[in-house]
Structure formats: structure tokens, C-alpha cells
Amino acid sequence: MGSPPPAHQRGGEGLGVGGRFPLGASRPPTRLGAPHLATLPTASRGEGICSRGWRLTAWTSGRSSAYRGEGVRRVRGSKNLFLTCLAGFTIASMLCGSAESLAQMVVFRFLQGTFGAALVPLSQATMLDLYPIEQRGSAMAIWGMGVMVGPILGPTLGGYLTDVYNWRWVFFINLPFGLLAIAGLWLFLKETRRDAELRFDWIGFAVLSLGIGALQLMLDRGEQNDWFGSTETIVEAVLAGLGVYLFVVHLFTAKKPFITPRIFRDLNFVAGLLVMFAIGMVLLSSAALLAPWLQNLGGYGVAEAGLLMVPRGVGTMIAMMVAGRLSNRVDPRLLMLIGLLMIAGSMWQMTGWTPDISIWSLTVTSVIQGFGLGFVFIPLQVIAFATLAVELRTEGTALFSLMRNVGSAIGISITSFLLAQNTQIMHAEIAAHVTPFNRMLQTGGAYLFWNSATHRGLTALNNEVTRQAQIIAYADDFKFMLMITLPTILLLLLMRRPRTGPQAPAPEQAVID
């Protein structure tokens, strides 16, 4: 069959961008504005890092439900689920902005993450259903606009709102975008077929939720609980392992399991899941490290740090448009190879970053990394879903989202742990050389500013030692992400180039009315 009518495609493009934008815009601003959330009454009583940890845990635990919406979609239909999630996400955002205590914020952030979890797979599945395989590269580039426009505008807009007004407007800003997306869905999206005879697999849902929820809690709270030195972490690890084990057993023994097992027979899709897991580790981990690096070591304010994060997103968006055009003409595996090498090169450059680095160097490295992410992200969507059965497509997009979320959670936890540990280790090593007998500290400006005989000088000296230790620790984190990126290239050998043309499977029709 031919491609859908232009009007249908235009409606799908609007939904692909608009349905994903509010979720993408909600993450970077809250990360940049996190220090200002201390104005919450509960957080102001000295909870600091602990309160921020609970807010992050609530968000990521809710986001881990990305796959659970697939079963509901098949029973209730895409349009109803899409509208419910968008409305719930928008209302939860307003509640977050109105929170008056840490307990309220944790609950509202969990609701925000839960309702937002299904937006990614639903919007992606809609775009895949609308376009034939030879046009999916361009379709995924359009969908990627919704993924990246939010993160591009988010840091700048969030930093401005936090500086000029307060952190509450970081959440309130989601209201107009949410209302526009809801209106677009209501007008353009036609309800998909419902499987009235399908029964929701509550057992599979329960054990998968147990495993993923416990894993998220363990990863998010492990560092502040001293990992396995804490009873809480041990209990969470046992529950995570038990949930995953029971789910795997149930998957291959139930008549109608929560996940269709034959989806894992597609080698392109399985290899794509592994690549997405690795990209999830690198994508959000690097973003999570970049914001505090710019503020703590670079000395930039919240708004300035937001502006300096824009080139990364701009590079990604441009690369997505280019890769979307090339994916139909060039082997997607070649584009992914170029993208992974660009990511690895940018990570290598970041290992040499110091606080006196120029804005030009920051921008160039960020743009290169953004280009790399765009050249991986779009071809990956094309090749992973090229050979997947049509009836498994939405299930596949949900699994992709789940792997990205789990990879991000693991990546952020590992890099945060390494950053804290290596900062302590390097501080001790550097401090061992800072003694009254070190001649370098007894002459010139060093003696004037870092005189260990005075309280002021000793404080300044300790601050400098800590700063140098953090520089080395951040560099080690960037090296870790470099080591994650390079082996991912080997997964490209498992993928096959997708077929295009009349023999390729046609998309489902009449998704957009």
C-alpha cells in the first residue's frame, strides 16, 4: 500500500512532537532547579541531598511503568490511554508546582512519572503505524523533534524561570503544552481497535512492577544508604531479583503472558534493545553530570548553565533531521557507527575538561556529542523495528522505553557513585602531598592564599583540594561512559539491513482521522 494521506501524516507529525514534548521538557529544568527546591518547608529543615534523592526516586519509579501501559492500551485503546496519561501528567505537574511539603512533592512526582511513562511508546508507535518502512527514517526524525525540543528549551527556560520567578514555575510551564497536546489528540487521533477478549495479565504486571520498582529504589537510594551496608538496600536487591525471576518464569509458562515471548526472536530488535540500554546509560548520565559540572566547577549560574546545554540538544536535533533523510538511502548501521564514534570522541574530549575551558570548546564538544546521539537514535529506531511484526510494534516501543529508563537509572547511579567515591579517594591522595613541608606552598601566592597556619588559608586550601579532586572524578566518569560506548559498536554486527520498497510490510491504516 502507499503512504497515508498527507493530512493524516500532518496530524501524526503534530502528535509525535506535541505528545512527547511535555515529558521531555520536564526533566532538565527540574535538574537545574533542584538546589532551589530547598524552599519546601520539609526540605529546608536540613534534609538536603536526602530530599532530592526522594524526589528523584519518586520520578524514576513512576517512569519505570512505561511498559505497563501496553496491556492497558490493548484493552482500552490508544486514544483513551493517551488522553488519560497526558491529562494526568499535566495535572500532576500543577500539583508538583503547588506542593507545600516533601511528602507531597514525592507523591506528586511519582504520579507525574507514572502518567508520563506511557507517552513515549504511544507517540512512537503512532508514528511507526502511520508510515511505510521506506519513510520511517523521516518519521522518526519528526518524532525525535518532540524528544529533543523539550530538552533543548527545558534547561534555558527552566533556568530563567528559576532565576526570575521561583522553582514552582518549572512545573507550571507544562500546563499550556499539555493542553495543546490534549486538544491535538482529541481532534486528530482515531481510536484503535480494542481486544475485548484480552485479559490483563495481573500476575505478570505485579511481578514486573515489583522487580523494576525495587531495582529503581535500590539504584536511586543506594549511594546515600551506603549500598549493601544498609538493610534497606539488601531488601530492595532481594525483591528486585525475586521479581525479575518470577517474571521470567511466568513469561514462559503462562498462556497469555504480559510480554509476548516471540518478540525476542527478532535479532534486530534484541540487538536494538541492548544498544538502547547503552545509549540510555550515556545519554542521561552525561546530561546529569554536565549540569553540576557547569555550576560547581565552571562557576556558571543556573540560567547560564542552561544556555550552555542547548548546543548539545541543537546538535542532536540537526543530526536527527539529517539521519532521517539518510536512513532510507544509507545503511543505518553505518550511520550508527559514525554516531557512536562521535559520542566516544566527545567523551574523550570531556575527560580533559578543566574549569578554565573556553565556552567555544564546551560548545564544540557538546555539538559533536549531540550529533552522535542523533546519528544513533534515528537509525536505531528504523533498523530495530524494520523486521518486527506489526502486531508487536507498540509492545516493542514500550520495551524500548523501558530499556532506556532502566539504562538511565543504572547509568546515573553508577556515575553518581563513582563521582562521590573518586572525589573522596582523590581528595585523600592530593591532601597527602599538602603538608607544611611542601616548598610549593611556602612561597609566593600559594603561601599568601593557602597559608595552612591560618583558618582562612586552611579553608581555602581544602576547597582547592576538593575542586581538584572533583575535576579528576568527573574525568573518570567521562572515561567510564567512553568505555560503555565503544563496546556497543560490536552490537552492530548482529543487525541486518532492513528491506524497503513494495515487499516491506505496510503500516496500519486510519490511525489518524
The answer to whether position 132 is within a domain reads yes
Give the model's confidence band at 70: pLDDT under 50 very low, under 70 low, under 90 confident, else very high. Answer: low
Residues 93 and 241 in one domain: no
pLDDT in tens, 85-116: 888 889 988 998 888 887 788 788 888 877 87
The answer to whether position 461 is within a domain reads no
**What does the alpha-carbon distance between residue 33 and residue 162 come to, in Å, rounded to a whole number?**
6
Residues 96 and 82 in one domain: yes
Residues 81 and 222 in one domain: no
pLDDT in tens, 207-266: 877 887 788 778 777 777 778 888 988 998 999 899 889 888 888 887 777 678 888 889
Please state the three-class secondary structure of 294-330 as a single string. HHHHCCCCHHHHHHHHHHHHHHHHHHHHHHHHHCCCC
**What does the alpha-carbon distance between residue 117 and residue 458 come to, in Å, rounded to a whole number?**
49
Q: Which domain holds residue 252?
A: 202-257
Give me the number of domains the chain comprises.
Answer: 2
Q: What is the CATH number of the domain that holds 329?
A: 1.20.1250.20
Q: 315: closest CA among 278, 366, 244? A: 366
Q: Is pLDDT above 70 for 382? A: yes
Q: 171: closest CA among 183, 180, 162, 182? A: 162
Name the phi and psi angles at 512, rounded to 5: -105, 130
pLDDT in tens, 172-192: 888 888 888 888 878 877 665
pLDDT in tens, 270-310: 999 999 999 888 887 888 888 889 888 888 877 788 788 88
